[in-house]
Structure 1
């Protein structure tokens, strides 16, 4: 006999599955700025936490030091990031997102919002309210994940 779900409790399995599906859709939504997932991840990270050391980016993106160095070199060549000396330690280089790099992230976000609006129109008022009321809890969940 399977245990019945309490409607007042969060089913972590259901939550994970739905978020995996939403993430897959969300990542593929923008029709502009078709860049690799890793490239976009680095730009998104820098749009929130710029500047960062290469070692921090390596740890954050969970790729090798050589891979992040090559990626940052390409992004720098394309004008999306720039390297500058760390003002506190001249031996260290920090990676900064440029205005062009930030524009890539912002334009993708705006495109994504336009496309999501179309999906949201298919929801009932009650479903829209449920999602709106969940935003603070989801934001807190993101903070907890970022701090771990």
Structure 2
């Protein structure tokens, strides 16, 4: 295998590992992987349903249903954009933020056996490299 193929293979295997952890922890909180992604996206911003649907590759009706279920649980809410009252956005409620924080800690603990094998310098470098990969041009 080439170096590039090795990297892609390692990224895919890492994705499987992390997805497994997220799926297990989400299941313990009665959340799907998609619901976890929505909470993660909205933890520091508001967004329109259409923006969320496009980002997640879902149709608007599926996204609306997902938001409705989270809203019934008190995790998400809809509200008018403060700058343009015609626009309705989705945002995380305090209960949703608290659940997100708890789950982030559970994920950190679950991944600690993997990340704990790296010394602080290498762990920092890994974080920097992953941020470069995730930065969109």
TM over 0.5: yes
Deviations 1:27-60 (A, max 9, x none): 2353742311111111111113x21111111111
What is the CA RMSD across the aligned residues, in angstroms?
2.5
- Total equivalences in the alignment: 134
Paired residue for 2:18? 23
- 1:137 paired to 2:117: no
Q: Rg: which structure is higher?
A: 1
Paired residue for 2:73? 78
Contact 1:81 1:96 in 2 (8 A): yes
Larger proportion of strand = 1
Larger proportion of helix = 2
- Report the TM-score, using the length of structure 1 for normalisation: 0.75
Paired residue for 1:37? 33
Contact 2:76 2:93 in 1 (8 A): yes
- 1:60 paired to 2:55: yes
- Deviation of 1:16 after TM superposition, in Å, equals 3.2
- Report the TM-score, using the length of structure 2 for normalisation: 0.80
Deviations 1:84-130 (A, max 9, x none): 11223322201111111111111111112222224455x3xxxx137
Gaps of 5+ in 2: none
